[in-house]
C-alpha cells in the first residue's frame, strides 16, 4: 500500500501487490517443471558432467601416472607441426565443403523451381534426398569399391575401356586426388538435403513478381537472376553464418575415407585426437584433452563471430 498526493491537495491511497517469491511464480506450473525434470537431469549427466574432465588438460595422464603439468600440454600443442597441419586441413575441408554444398544446393533448388512437370519435380527431389539417409560407413564402402584399382573398380575399368588410362588410378590413396574425391562424395550425399531450405524459400516467392517481370519482357534467365536469386540471397547468408560455427566439428566423413598415405591433406583435428588417443601405445589423455579444449575454444569464438555477423545482417542473433 502506498500514499500519493493528488493535484487537488488530497491524498490518494493505492494498493501495490506484494512481490511474488520465486516459489509463488513457479507453483502454478509445477506439472510442467516435473515433466521437464527428467530432461534437465539427462542434460546435466550427459552434457555437463563430462565437462569436469576438462581439468585433465592441465595434467599429464598416462595410465596411472597422473600429475599436474600446468600449461605444458598447450605448449606442446602449439609447437606440434602435426597438429597445425590437422588444424589447417580442418579449416580447408570444412570451409570448401560448406561453400560447395551451399552453391550446388542453390543451383539445384533453382533448377527444381523451374521444373513445370510436378511428377518429374517430385521424382528428382526424392532421388537427390535419398543419399542423405545413408550412413557415412556405407557411403565409404560404396565409393571405395567404386574407385577401387581392382577389376571391380567401375571408374578405373571404364577409363581403361575408353583408352584414357593404361594403369589404374588409386584415387583414395593419392594426395593430389583425395580432396577433390572427398568433395564430390560429400556433394553426392549431402547436397540434396541442403536444397530443402532453399527450395522452401523459393516456394514462398510471390508469383506476382514473376508475372510482373514477364510483362516487362524479362526472359527466363532474367527472371531467375532478378527475382529468384535476390529472394534466395538472405537465406544463403543465414545458412553460411549458422554453419560457420560448426566448421571444426568434421569427423565421420573424413574418418571413413582417409588413410595413412593421405594424412597430410586429410587429417583433421577430430581424427588427430582419435589417433593420439586410441592408436598410440601409451596415450597421454591430458594432451588429447588439451587439444579438444582448444578446439572447443576456437569453436566458441566462431560461434560468437557468427552471432555478431547474424546481428549485423539479420538484426537478431543465433543465440
Which CATH class, in words, describes the domain spanning 73-314? mainly alpha
CA 290 → CA 3, 27, 60, 118, 296, distances in Å?
Answer: 62, 44, 10, 54, 10
Residue 272 in this model has a pLDDT that exceeds 90:
yes
pLDDT at residue 85, rounded to an integer: 94
Taking Cα atoms as reference points, which of 267, 287, 265 lies closest to residue 277? 287
How far, in Å, CA of 21 to CA of 213, rounded? 61
Q: What is the mean pLDDT of the chain?
A: 86
Residue 8 banded pLDDT, cuts 50, 70, 90: low
Mean pLDDT of 220-225: 85
Q: Cα 41 from chain centroid? A: 27
pLDDT given at position 13: 61
* 269 in Cβ contact with 248 (< 8 Å): yes
84-93 residue pLDDT tens: 999 999 999 9
- The C-alpha cell at 60 is 599429464
What's the confidence (pLDDT) of residue 204?
81
Domain ranges of the chain: 2-68, 73-314
Three-class DSSP category at 66: strand
DSSP-derived 3-state class of residue 81: helix
- Residue 308, C-alpha cell as written in the block: 555478431
Q: CA-CA-CA-CA torsion for 228, 231, 234, 236, nearest 10 degrees?
A: -30
**HSE-up (13 A, CA, CB side) for residue 141:** 5
For the question of whether the overall pTM of this predicted structure is more than 0.85, the answer is: no
Per-residue pLDDT band at 58 (split at 50, 70, 90) = very high
Residue 3 pLDDT grade (very low, low, confident, very high; cuts 50, 70, 90): low
- Residue 14, φ and ψ in degrees, nearest 5: -115, 150
Answer yes or no: is pLDDT of 254 > 90: yes
Q: In this model, does residue 120 exceed pLDDT 90?
A: no
**pLDDT band at 1, cuts 50/70/90?**
low
Question: What backbone torsions phi and psi does residue 241 show, to the nearest 5 degrees?
Answer: -65, -45
Mean pLDDT of 38-64: 90
Q: What is the mean pLDDT of residues 127-154?
A: 89
**Per-residue confidence band for 97, with pLDDT thresholds at 50, 70 and 90:** very high
Joined grid coordinates for residue 158: 571404364
What secondary structure does DSSP assign to 62-105, as a single string? ETTEEEE-TTHHHHHHHH-HHHHHHHHHHHHHHHHHHHHHHHHH
Contact status, residue 249 vs residue 270, Cβ threshold 8 Å: yes
pLDDT tens digits, residue range 166-202?
A: 888 899 999 999 999 999 999 999 988 888 888 888 8
Cell for 209?
513478381
12 pLDDT band (50/70/90 cuts)? Answer: low
Q: Are 71 and 58 contacting, i.e. CB atoms less than 8 angstroms apart? A: yes
Quote the pLDDT of residue 31.
87
- Residues 143 and 258: their CA atoms lie apart, in Å, by 12
Angstrom distance (rounded) from CA 122 to CA 126? 6
Alpha-carbon span 147 to 310, nearest angstrom: 41
- CA dist., res. 271 & res. 113, Å (int): 39
- Only one residue has cell 510436378, namely 118
pLDDT at residue 209 greater than cutoff 60: yes
Question: Where is pLDDT greater, at 30 or 314?
Answer: 30
pLDDT digits (tens, 9 = 90+) for 285-305: 999 999 999 998 888 888 888
Amino acid at each position: 500500500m502506498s500514499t500519493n498526493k493528488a493535484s487537488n491537495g488530497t491524498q490518494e491511497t493505492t494498493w501495490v501487490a506484494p512481490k511474488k517469491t520465486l516459489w509463488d511464480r513457479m507453483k502454478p506450473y509445477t506439472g510442467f517443471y516435473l515433466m521437464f525434470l527428467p530432461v534437465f537431469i539427462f542434460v546435466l549427466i550427459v552434457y555437463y558432467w563430462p565437462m569436469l574432465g576438462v581439468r585433465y588438460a592441465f595434467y599429464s595422464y598416462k595410465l596411472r601416472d597422473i600429475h599436474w603439468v600446468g600449461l605444458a600440454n598447450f605448449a606442446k600443442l602449439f609447437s606440434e607441426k602435426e597438429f597445425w597441419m590437422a588444424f589447417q586441413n580442418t579449416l580447408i575441408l570444412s570451409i570448401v565443403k560448406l561453400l560447395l554444398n551451399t552453391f550446388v544446393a542453390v543451383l539445384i533448388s533453382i533448377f527444381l523451381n523451374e521444373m513445370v512437370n510436378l511428377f518429374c519435380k517430385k521424382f528428382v527431389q526424392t532421388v537427390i534426398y535419398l543419399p542423405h539417409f545413408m550412413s557415412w560407413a556405407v557411403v565409404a564402402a560404396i565409393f571405395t569399391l567404386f574407385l577401387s584399382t581392382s577389376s571391380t573398380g567401375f571408374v578405373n575399368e571404364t577409363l581403361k575401356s575408353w583408352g584414357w588410362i593404361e594403369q589404374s588410378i588409386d584415387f583414395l590413396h593419392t594426395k593430389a586426388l583425395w580432396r577433390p574425391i572427398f568433395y564430390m562424395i560429400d556433394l553426392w550425399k549431402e547436397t540434396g538435403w541442403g536444397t530443402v531450405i532453399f527450395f522452401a524459400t523459393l516456394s514462398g516467392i510471390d508469383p506476382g513478381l514473376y508475372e510482373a517481370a514477364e510483362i516487362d519482357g524479362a526472359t527466363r534467365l532474367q527472371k531467375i537472376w532478378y527475382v529468384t536469386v535476390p529472394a534466395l540471397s538472405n537465406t544463403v547468408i543465414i545458412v553460411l553464418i549458422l554453419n560457420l560455427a560448426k566448421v571444426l566439428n568434421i569427423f565421420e566423413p573424413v574418418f571413413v575415407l582417409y588413410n595413412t598415405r593421405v594424412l597430410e591433406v586429410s587429417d583433421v583435428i577430430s581424427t588427430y585426437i582419435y589417433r593420439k588417443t586410441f592408436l598410440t601405445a601409451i596415450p597421454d589423455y591430458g594432451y588429447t584433452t588439451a587439444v579438444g579444449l582448444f578446439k572447443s575454444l576456437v569453436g566458441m569464438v566462431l560461434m560468437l563471430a557468427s552471432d555478431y555477423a547474424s546481428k549485423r545482417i539479420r538484426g537478431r542473433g543465433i543465440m
